[in-house]
Amino acid sequence: MSISSWLKSNDTPVLVAGAILFALIFIAFFPPFYASIDEHEYVKNAHLVASSGSLETPNNTQYCWSKPLENGNYISGYPIGKSISLIPFLPLPFEWVFLSGLLIHLINFFILASIFKKMGLPSTYAFLYLIFPAFVWESRTLYSELLIRVNPSGGSVTQRFINNTCPVSCQR
């Protein structure tokens, strides 16, 4: 049995071990603080939504970039999607909010591995995604790019498992 065929048939332990190793290295070296205004705004939006159920605030100093409303309040100029995904991390210590990127990155990794497996490719090819420098950097930040990748890839996997078909884009 060749290494390639063994990896194709027994890839789950390899994928899990790789994900655990990545997570341990990530946790050992990630800086637990935001480095940009965008990240600050996502966390601030999450706090406002969790505490008041709204993004409106009478104090414009709560935002780095805000828009005035007709009622005299202010609202963030940033979209709310990423902020909502941060809300479950708010009751935890502040530094843990930055582990949300790791969680999303690992979800994307396993979704991509399942797509490769369904296409008849070695699912271990997903390691190329896991260690790609731009995605590793994004997983350290609170930017929304990694979260955006979950929706199309997750939808593709769901469609394939429900219909057991391959969209035109992946047919050979």
pLDDT single digits (tens) 112-124: 898 888 888 889 9
Report the alpha-carbon distance of residue 69 to residue 56 in Å, rounded: 9
CA atoms of 158 and 26, how far apart (whole Å): 29
Instruction: Give the span between the Cα atoms of 120 and 54, in whole angstroms.
Output: 46
Confidence of residue 73 (pLDDT cuts 50, 70, 90): confident
Say how far apart CA 97 and CA 140 lie, in whole Å: 10
Which of these ranges, 16-25, 41-50, 125-134, has the smallest mean pLDDT? Answer: 41-50
Which pLDDT tens digit goes with each residue over 137-151?
888 888 777 777 666
CB within 8 A of 148, min separation 6: which ones? none
Do 50 and 42 meet the contact criterion of CB atoms below 8 Å apart? no
Main-chain dihedrals φ then ψ at residue 2, nearest 5 degrees: -80, 165
Q: Which residue has the higher pLDDT, 145 or 23?
A: 23
pLDDT bin (cut points 50, 70, 90) of residue 98 is confident
Phi, psi of 139 (to 5 degrees): -70, -20
The candidate with the shortest Cα–Cα distance to 22, out of 123, 98, 131, 124, is 131
